[in-house]
Amino acid sequence: MANCESTPAGDGSRRSIGLASAVAIGIGGMVGGGIFAVLGLSIELARGAAPIAFLIAGGVALLTATSYARLSVAYPSRGGTVTFLNETFGPGVFVGGLNVLLWLSYVVMISLYAAAFAGYAASLLPGRPSTVVYHLLLTAIIVVVAILNVARASVVGRAEEWIVVAKLAILCLVVATAFHGVGWTRLSPSKWADPLAIVGGGMVIFVAYEGFELISNAAEDVRDPRRTLPRALYLSVGIVIVLYILVAVVTVGVLSTSQVRNASSYVLAEAARPGLGEVGFVLVAVAALLSTTSAINATLYGTARLSWTIARSGELPEALDKKIWGRPVEGLLVTTGLTLVVANAFNLNSIALTGSAAFLIIFAAVNTAAARLAKRRVHRILAVTAAVACVASLVALVLEEWPRNPWGVVIVGGLVAGSFAIEFVYRRFTGRILPAHLASSSTTSSGGSGGVSDNGNH
């Protein structure tokens, strides 16, 4: 696990992140490419109940955030999810498989963001761009961002805070200008899909909530983490839930079902057209391009380091444990190559399904970890409830998607089985195990607490 040693409690000078900045990290992680990529898919499933679907998905995310809050306080490190799983279940094949699945899940997320970028970029081109143009755009953005990472260019990174502010402002502008034109009959229960489809629609959009866990990766740099981390997690998820519900309300309320279907890959830009005209369409499309580019950059950067972290813990090949120029370039190149394959081989629906399903599995494991380590009964019950919610949501997603997208469900199964198979075969033939100094590092970093702190601040 990379740099598991936490900042000493007395060294406040190194803790530079306050509550507002931590909330910004969470919101920036969630309001990335996901909402731009899969809003149309979710509405097609849930129809008039899309706001309810967003609320259900947000509820699962908020429950899971409670587990991340307690685990982040107990084990403050940049390892985040990897640290939580290793600390709870130990460095075996089970955790190794989950960590490989986490890595591959981020590869899927980068593919999703790239697909969203290509969809919005194509919407700005004259005529109806061909599939070849779409794949060229998709490939180009992945390669360009990877080159920027290798070249140590930080233009996108320096602009990240401004991009977060800009996309939030634009989303709020779309909601404000479109709200007066909402056709409320389109949101009436008579326009809702069946309950399973509503939950399925919520779980398809679940990838748009993935990202709040990034707050836990910044735990070492957060001031007063015992109070700040839980508050930042709850606030960021809560704010995004409200924002997404409003976006769903105006999108469903101003666009017909056929309009949503025809503009599925750029539906948010289409939703801006009634209130803001062509200027609104272009404004949202440009915001989507900036947002997805920054999401690709941040996720590719983080995933390359995640692969290095997992390799360092003995769960991936040693080649990924080596750095070039002080950075995990090999991990970056491998991640980029896998992303290019996934993004070009599968359609948006299958990518979104795979991403949501994979993170529901990961979050179920994290919630289970929180339940095992919780000292108070009420917090144990809350964590178990969150784990059950993740599993139930996964089942609902698979049942809903199987009739309409069986190939996507097969891909999900293949990804999960492949992750554990990779880990099993790798360990069987290499005999690598978690190095002793790493196995104990995060325990040391947590002050030897041995459990999740359950104080009242959570």
Does position 52 have pLDDT exceeding 50, yes or no? Answer: yes
Range name among 298-307, 354-363, 402-411, 428-437 with the lowest pLDDT average: 428-437
pLDDT at 449: 36
What single-letter amino acid sits at 54? F
Segment 163-173 shows an average pLDDT of: 83
Confidence of residue 361 (pLDDT cuts 50, 70, 90): very high
Would you state the structure tokens that stand for residue 73, as one six-digit string? Answer: 């306080």
Tens of pLDDT, residue by residue over 53-81, are 999 999 999 999 999 999 988 888 767 78
Does position 251 have pLDDT exceeding 90, yes or no? Answer: yes
Does position 140 have pLDDT exceeding 60, yes or no? Answer: yes
What single-letter amino acid sits at 407? W
pLDDT at 304: 65
Cα–Cα distance for residue pair 241/57, rounded to 1 Å: 9
Does position 218 have pLDDT exceeding 80, yes or no? Answer: no
Does position 448 have pLDDT exceeding 50, yes or no? Answer: no
Does position 441 have pLDDT exceeding 50, yes or no? Answer: no
pLDDT at 160: 62
Does position 374 have pLDDT exceeding 90, yes or no? Answer: no
Tens of pLDDT, residue by residue over 384-418, are 999 999 999 999 999 999 998 899 999 999 999 99
Query: Which of 15-19, 96-100, 123-127, 251-255 is the most confident on average?
Result: 251-255
Range name among 29-38, 208-217, 425-434 with the lowest pLDDT average: 425-434
Would you state the structure tokens that stand for residue 105, as one six-digit string? Answer: 């899940």
Threshold 0.75, pTM exceeds: yes
pLDDT at 11: 47
pLDDT at 366: 95
pLDDT at 15: 61
Contact criterion met (CB below 8 Å) for 198 and 55: no
Confidence of residue 311 (pLDDT cuts 50, 70, 90): low
Contact criterion met (CB below 8 Å) for 291 and 31: yes
DSSP label of 320: G
First to last CA, the chain: 26
pLDDT at 341: 94
The domains of the chain are located at 16-434
Tens of pLDDT, residue by residue over 272-297, are 998 889 999 999 999 889 888 888 88
Count CB neighbours of 137 within 10 A.
19
Range name among 171-175, 295-299, 446-450 with the lowest pLDDT average: 446-450
Q: Give, for 47, the enclosing helix (H) or strand (E).
A: none
Segment 171-188 shows an average pLDDT of: 90
pLDDT, mean over the chain: 81
Place of tokens 């960021």: 236
| Percent over 90 (pLDDT), the chain | 39
- Determine phi and psi for 327, rounding to 5 degrees: -135, 155
Cα–Cα distance for residue pair 350/394, rounded to 1 Å: 15
Cα–Cα distance for residue pair 344/342, rounded to 1 Å: 6
Distance of CA 351 to the CA centre of its chain: 13
More confident residue, 335 or 122: 122
Q: Give, for 88, the enclosing helix (H) or strand (E).
A: helix 81-89
Which residues have a Cβ under 8 Å from the Cβ of 354 and sit 6 or more positions away?
A: 108, 346, 408, 411, 412, 415
Q: Is 94 exposed, middle or buried (0-12, 13-18, 19+ CB in 10 A)?
A: middle
Tens of pLDDT, residue by residue over 75-133, are 887 677 888 888 888 877 888 889 889 888 989 999 999 999 999 999 999 887 888 99
| Bridge partners of residue 192, in order along the sequence | 47
- Determine phi and psi for 47, rounding to 5 degrees: 55, -125
* Assigned fold of 16-434: Amino acid/polyamine transporter I (1.20.1740)
Cα–Cα distance for residue pair 16/18, rounded to 1 Å: 7
| Percent over 70 (pLDDT), the chain | 81
Confidence of residue 325 (pLDDT cuts 50, 70, 90): very low
Cα–Cα distance for residue pair 122/131, rounded to 1 Å: 10
pLDDT at 151: 67
Rg (C-alpha) for the chain, rounded Å, is 21
Would you state the structure tokens that stand for residue 270, as one six-digit string? Answer: 């289409």
Contact criterion met (CB below 8 Å) for 79 and 434: no
**CA nearest to 210, candidates 142, 125, 130, 298:** 298
